Structure formats: C-alpha cells, structure tokens
Amino acid sequence: MTPWIEKVALGEMVARTVVVEGAMPLEKVLKSEPDLLLPVSEPSLFPLDLYTYKVRLSRWEGGSGPVLSGIRDFVSVLENLEEPACWVMITGETTSYVLLISADWSKVLASMAIDSPGEAVMTGEGPEVW
C-alpha cells in the first residue's frame, strides 16, 4: 500500500529545509489544494533510478530538454545515499518538483525543479533549455 502525505505536512518539512526554486515557487504549488494527498515512495537505498537521473543531468548539461534547477545536487545526493530515503513529486501549473526525503519524513534531502524552457527562470547555473 502506498503511503500518502498531505501538501500541508510536506510544506512544513520544506519550510525547515533549503529547497530549489523553479519558475513557480514551491510554496505557491504547495498552497494550491493544501489538503491534497501526494503519494510517497517506500523507503529504499535506491528510491529512484540513478542511471535515469544521470542521463537527465547529461542532457541538461548538453543543453537539451526542460530546465532542471538543482539537478547536480539532486544526482549527487542520490548517488551517495547511505540511509534509505523516499521520494515525492508535486506538480504546479508551470513547475514540477521532485523531492528526496528522509525515510522518517523529517527533512528534504534534495530537491529538483522541472520547468519547460518557456517558463524557466534564468539562473546562470547551466543550460537554460533542454
């Protein structure tokens, strides 16, 4: 059975942690439909496919695909996990976020914002288009 977290509870966790920001701020995404439940993965040392995220990072660095704010740190944390973690995804009107969270749901370990090239905030930290 899939565990679920309310946006409100996720917002409290995010407030205690530094999280990347996409074109649509995460706080705004969390405030829309605050009682909505989001699925959370089961805890694992390999909560997401590392190879997939390395490919996404490589494509982003090569200048193709959506804008991925925080992808370098996200991949680094995913690569170096020493304790089980979970992931949760939340989608707003223009920006989606993938959050890697501790198995006890007490903190955000890493985050990544996904924006389409037309919605991107120019950050200067890598290619601006996919």
SS3 97: strand
pLDDT recorded at residue 118: 59
CA angle at 122 for the pair 67 and 125, rounded to the nearest 5°: 70
Give the helix/strand (H/E) hosting 113: strand 108-115
Question: Does any domain span residue 129?
Answer: no
Task: Provide the residue type at 99 as one letter.
Answer: L
SS3 32: coil
pLDDT recorded at residue 34: 82
User: pTM of this prediction?
Assistant: 0.85
Mean pLDDT of the region 97-114: 95
Lowest-pLDDT choice from 60-64, 98-102, 108-112, 115-119: 115-119
Question: Does any domain span residue 98?
Answer: yes
Question: Does any domain span residue 38?
Answer: yes
pLDDT recorded at residue 1: 67
Question: Does any domain span residue 124?
Answer: no
pLDDT recorded at residue 125: 41
Question: Does any domain span residue 127?
Answer: no
Supply the range of the domain harboring residue 91: 4-119
Question: Does any domain span residue 74?
Answer: yes
Task: Provide the residue type at 79 as one letter.
Answer: E
Q: What is the pLDDT of residues 7-57, one digit of tens each?
A: 988 998 888 887 898 999 999 999 988 888 999 999 999 999 999 999 999
Tell me how far apart the alpha carbons of residues 38 and 6 are, in angstroms, rounded to a whole number.
6
Q: What is the pLDDT of residues 53-102, one digit of tens each?
A: 999 999 999 988 889 999 999 999 999 999 999 999 999 999 999 999 99
